[in-house]
Amino acid sequence: MSDQNAPRAEAVVDLDALRHNVALLAERAQVAVMAVVKADGYGHGAVPVARAALEAGATWLGSCSAAEAVDLRKAGIEAPILAWLYAAGEDLSDAIAAGVELGVSSLDELRAAEGAPIHLKIDTGLNRNGCPESEWAALVKAAKGHNVRAVWSHLASADEPGDPSVDRQAERFERAYQVALAEGLNPMRHIANSATVLTRPDLAFDMVRTGIAMYGLNPVPQQEDLRPVMTFRSSVAQVKRIPAGESVSYGGTWTAPRDVTLALVPVGYADGVPRGLSGRLEVWLAGNRRPVVGRVCMDQIVVECGDDHVSPGDEVILFGPGDRGEPTARQWADSLGTIDYEIVTNMYRPRVRRRYLGAR
């Protein structure tokens, strides 16, 4: 049996699905698409994702840290890259030397970004990074003479269509842009994330910054033709039969009500299976969804298979697109009270091997 058929812990990343999603977003936005590949491509692998996104029509890349941007350059990627969040006093010289464009939210960051093309960030109400409106005019004035490529911002509630904060932020964005024009700058504008592209194409301006939807996870309530890119799979390591009355895993939290077959699967919370899903997790195994019984451990889980025939080496799908009936990242997120962003990003782990489908 080949290793590929019986993986221990594997994230399969479908680059054809990713290209499909990028093309859909580009079609909807009708402007330049920045593929956001921060956090190692939301757990999918920044470099392969960046390449596939560029093949599908994205023309920019977005990373959070300057180091992530430099890593893309080291991989030979030449497309424009924007990085936007730094530690206080961080040395940005490597990123500047690598031609990375930098988000600038303050006078301190303007100094640190000296020599780089810059994107001035106005805080329009998210109140995280970004320049407060009260300091904007001073920042814009100080930025004259720098290579100001853009004025940009980020929305707080684009994933809640109709939320009044979106229009309020759009108005503040327009005001900030007018200040830049009045200072003689002629910057591009960008404010839209995935949810904005899908619900407010009027806010696409010159570029959209898409992350989650590119990975096939839909951030808005309406139906969209997005294809989830990641499938998390493992395989059965051992099969055993236990009699009624025996308990399973640490603490014996589950007791067999009758004789059952158990399948041991060698993935646990160290591989991104949240322990908080203990007692609520199902996997796809041998043609059915089946419950994981007992606690999720660091390295293993146990699947209850009734009287069905399962064998070592059988494929186990923990989450995927859902086409075959397997659980989805969204279902994990819903059971945990979180968002699917966190589920896939959590797969950024040394013990989880990545396998790419559709690489060119």
Ligand X SMILES: *Cc1c(COP(=O)(O)O)cnc(C)c1O
| Binding-site ranges for ligand X (CB under 6 A) | 36, 38, 84, 154, 193-195, 209-213, 219
Query: Is residue 121 annotated as a catalytic residue, yes or no?
Result: no
- Closest contact distance (angstroms) between CB of 269 and ligand X is 25
Between 9 and 213, name the residue whose CB sits nearer to ligand X. 213
Residue-wise burial string across 224-241, b where 16 or more C-beta atoms lie within 10 A, e elsewhere: bebbbbbbbbbbbbebee
Between 6 and 170, name the residue whose CB sits nearer to ligand X. 170
- Closest contact distance (angstroms) between CB of 92 and ligand X is 17
- Closest contact distance (angstroms) between CB of 306 and ligand X is 40
Radius of gyration of the chain (CA): 23
- Closest contact distance (angstroms) between CB of 34 and ligand X is 8
Binding residues for substrate: 128, 298
Between 195 and 310, name the residue whose CB sits nearer to ligand X. 195
Token pair for 14: 């479908």
Catalytic annotation, pick one of 38, 121, 215, 341: 38
Token pair for 125: 């109400």
Phi, psi of 338 (to 5 degrees): -130, -165
Query: Is residue 250 annotated as a catalytic residue, yes or no?
Result: yes
Between 9 and 198, name the residue whose CB sits nearer to ligand X. 198
- Closest contact distance (angstroms) between CB of 143 and ligand X is 19
Catalytic annotation, pick one of 42, 250, 348, 356: 250
Q: How many residues does the chain have?
A: 360
Contact criterion met (CB below 8 Å) for 102 and 93:
no
Taking CB atoms, the residue at the shortest distance from ligand X is 211
Binding residues: 128, 298
Q: Give catalytic residue positions.
A: 38, 250
